[in-house]
Structure 1
Amino acid sequence: MVPALLLGFLVCSYCLAVNPDSLKLSQQMLGAGINFMFFTVGWHYSKQAFGCMMVYAAYDRYPLDRWQRESLRFSLLSLWWYNFTNANQNPTGSFWSLTYSTWQLPRWLYVGSFWVFQLMIAVMLYQVLYRNWKAGLRPSPTFLIPYVAMMLWFAPCFRQPDFFFYVVPFFHSLQYLTFVYRVERARPSIRESAGRATALILGLALSGWMCFEVVPGNLDMSMDAMTTFGFSFCLIAFNLFLNIHHYFLDNVLWRVRDDELVRQALFSDPL
């Protein structure tokens, strides 16, 4: 259902873009899609980082009660919202040469999200690290890395545009692939060598580069999109389709209720 709706949206945008009289409407549609994409991407990244931390806590037998888990989850979600409100303080944004209108969220919402973000960091430090530290429990680096990575990736004070748009998605995808590999390795019937697994990961990374950059970029060049539309239509379309569809797909996967899968992922012998 979601792929069909996305394809319909993009086909409609293209049909409007090829007509100079309706090009402005196509730009507005794509701008709305870009805003929605950034909204879903931040939520998805936060949820994946939270899931990583839960799995690593289970590996390390690092206890987390309900309040500790919730403080972690809302700390990551507050970072997502703080980042999104910050990006929407400017009236316009630019994505692959398309200038679009942001949601222009009010200043008070941005300031409020900043202070909520600071508060949730303090709550997380107390609830998770300090309480367990007093009990003689120390977190492993693998438990902390997803949280620290999200701070470096998404906090506006650390953002570097090229790093944010190119390197962060790559490592986010790599983080996801390691979990897929971990679950598959837990199945008795699947015992691939480390070399084959590495080749698979590199192949998938190459496929991602082809899908996000090479194929749409060459399509834009073949149709002379910059001259025809004034922006890279195919690069925008591919990014919208892949990112938004990925959000809905992973939203289902992270909510899976398969007891056997959970047992394999969390409680089988670590690699």
Structure 2
Amino acid sequence: MATQYYRPDAAPQVVVPPPQVSRDQRYLFNPVVDFICLGGSSLIILPLILMVPVTGYQEQVAGTMLIIAHLINHPHFAHSYQIFYRGFRIKAFTADLGRAMQLRYVFSGIVVPAMLAAFFAFCLLTADARLLGYAANVMALFVGWHYVKQGYGMLMVDAALKRQYFNASEKKVLLVNCYAVWVAAWLGFNDAIRERKLWGLQYFTFDFPDPIVIVSTVVAAATGIAAVGMLATRWRSTGRLPVNGVIAYAVSLYIWLWFVTVHPLWLLVAPALHSLQYLVVVWRFQTNYQKAQLAASEPEASSLARRLVGNKLLGHLILFTLSGVILGFVGFWGLPIMLNATIPYDDAVFGSTLFLFVGWIFINVHHYFLDTVMWRRENPDTRRYLFG
């Protein structure tokens, strides 16, 4: 029976209906966009990729995905910087967001990039190419963490929008499965790949004993079965599931993270689909943020964006997107190429594209720390603009 709401000050008592949630409010955008962007596109593309022979087509797929990276992958990283550092002085150096959030902003926004810069400087000054090579393996570790946490986060967002909340024990089952798959995938990656190059630099993996790899795989499979059982029980008891969120969760863990070690072409495609999943949340967040900004103040002559597009929401969203494309190009290509041409180093040790390697690793690793702050449920900006 539906919950009844009463007005105690009325006589006789009048039943007030519960607040209604419109169809549009139950999705980030709409059912089709949510399905495609959150993970459904993988279910369509994966069978097509499996039909493509690896031999003879790997270079074509790699070239295509590099072009797509300029429009999807790199802007997805850039947007995290645009959102995280917007109003950073207030976030990091005042108590407006609370002490805990303030410390998180300081750590991820200042301490982490300083530590990364110090690490890369040490490797360069000591000419330790092997230590630098291990940074790519660390990036792979963070990639796995980022994929599973984003998949879990998408499920929680979809559940919240549809008012189909998971209880604490259900969340624990899902999180345990996340971490089990993450560990198993990373161990499997190290077991399958002994040495590989990224921008001319070799990166090395760790030689874990086979029993550890096998046990981690068994644990991942067992926790996955437990997660499926929990979702099936929930379906039988309530008749409802946040379907797009469940797809996002399953695709992130098993198709994007685990399957990439099975099929080399899918390894090239998965990052773009992961970025698309991220972008649909950014677009929702930025749309609500920009609406609030436009409603709260009049156009200012000193604001370049206001001078260019006035109070037009679409114009501001286009500027935000174009800024992300430009910033992504600068971060992944422009700045590394400039540093490579201006800072002397021993290319006999590090190769000819050292700063491309450093730049790509730096942005990837830092991005994951930014996300742990930006998308926390304790972050008032997330509550206001993602669910508003």
Q: TM-score, normalised by structure 1?
A: 0.79
Quote the Cα distance in structure 2 between the aligned partners of 1:58 and 1:237: 38
* Residue in 2 that maps onto 1:208: 328
Quote the Cα distance in structure 1 between the aligned partners of 2:137 and 2:288: 38
Q: Confirm or deny: 8 A CA contact 1:44 1:251 kept in the other structure.
A: no
* Residue in 2 that maps onto 1:70: 172
State the SS of the aligned residue for 2:197.
strand
Shift of residue 63 of structure 1? Answer: 3.5
Quote the Cα distance in structure 1 between the aligned partners of 2:195 and 2:227: 34
Between stretches 48-57 and 252-261, larger displacement belongs to 252-261
Between stretches 244-253 and 216-225, larger displacement belongs to 216-225
Between stretches 135-144 and 239-248, larger displacement belongs to 135-144
Q: TM-score, normalised by structure 2?
A: 0.57
User: Structure 1 253/157 Cα, relative in aligned 2: closer, same or farther at 3 Å?
Assistant: closer
Q: Confirm or deny: 8 A CA contact 2:147 2:257 kept in the other structure.
A: no
User: Structure 1 184/113 Cα, relative in aligned 2: closer, same or farther at 3 Å?
Assistant: same
- Give matches, 1:224-263, under 5 Å: 228=348, 229-230=350-351, 232-255=353-376, 257-258=378-379, 261-262=382-383
Instruction: Give unpaired runs (5+ residues) of structure 1.
Output: 18-25
Q: Confirm or deny: 8 A CA contact 2:339 2:355 kept in the other structure.
A: yes
* Residue in 2 that maps onto 1:8: 118
User: Structure 1 104/209 Cα, relative in aligned 2: closer, same or farther at 3 Å?
Assistant: farther
Larger Rg: 2
Equivalent in 182, 186, 191 of residue 84 of structure 1:
186
* RMSD (CA atoms): 3.1
Quote the Cα distance in structure 1 between the aligned partners of 2:340 and 2:216: 38
Q: Number of aligned pairs?
A: 257
Quote the Cα distance in structure 2 between the aligned partners of 1:162 and 1:222: 35
Quote the Cα distance in structure 1 between the aligned partners of 2:183 and 2:162: 30
User: Structure 1 121/12 Cα, relative in aligned 2: closer, same or farther at 3 Å?
Assistant: same
1:30-71 Cα deviation digits (max 9, x unpaired): 122222221122112211211111010011122322222122
Shift of residue 104 of structure 1? Answer: 1.5
User: Structure 1 121/231 Cα, relative in aligned 2: closer, same or farther at 3 Å?
Assistant: farther
Shift of residue 83 of structure 1? Answer: 1.1
Equivalent in 237, 246, 255 of residue 152 of structure 1:
255
2:267 is aligned with 1:164: yes
Q: Percent identity?
A: 27
Q: Confirm or deny: 8 A CA contact 2:196 2:204 kept in the other structure.
A: yes
* Residue in 2 that maps onto 1:193: 313
Quote the Cα distance in structure 2 between the aligned partners of 1:172 and 1:251: 16
- Give matches, 1:91-106, under 5 Å: 91-106=194-209
* Residue in 2 that maps onto 1:22: none
For 1:9, the aligned partner's letter is F
User: Structure 1 217/163 Cα, relative in aligned 2: closer, same or farther at 3 Å?
Assistant: farther
Q: Confirm or deny: 8 A CA contact 2:260 2:267 kept in the other structure.
A: no
Shift of residue 195 of structure 1? Answer: 6.4
User: Structure 1 156/177 Cα, relative in aligned 2: closer, same or farther at 3 Å?
Assistant: closer
State the SS of the aligned residue for 2:292.
coil
Instruction: Give unpaired runs (5+ residues) of structure 2.
Output: 1-110, 295-311
Q: Confirm or deny: 8 A CA contact 1:152 1:159 kept in the other structure.
A: no
Quote the Cα distance in structure 1 between the aligned partners of 2:353 and 2:225: 43
* Residue in 2 that maps onto 1:29: 131
* Residue in 2 that maps onto 1:20: none
Between stretches 242-251 and 108-117, larger displacement belongs to 242-251
For 1:112, the aligned partner's letter is V
Comparing both structures, which one devotes a greater share of its residues to helix?
1
User: Structure 1 71/251 Cα, relative in aligned 2: closer, same or farther at 3 Å?
Assistant: same
* Residue in 2 that maps onto 1:110: 213
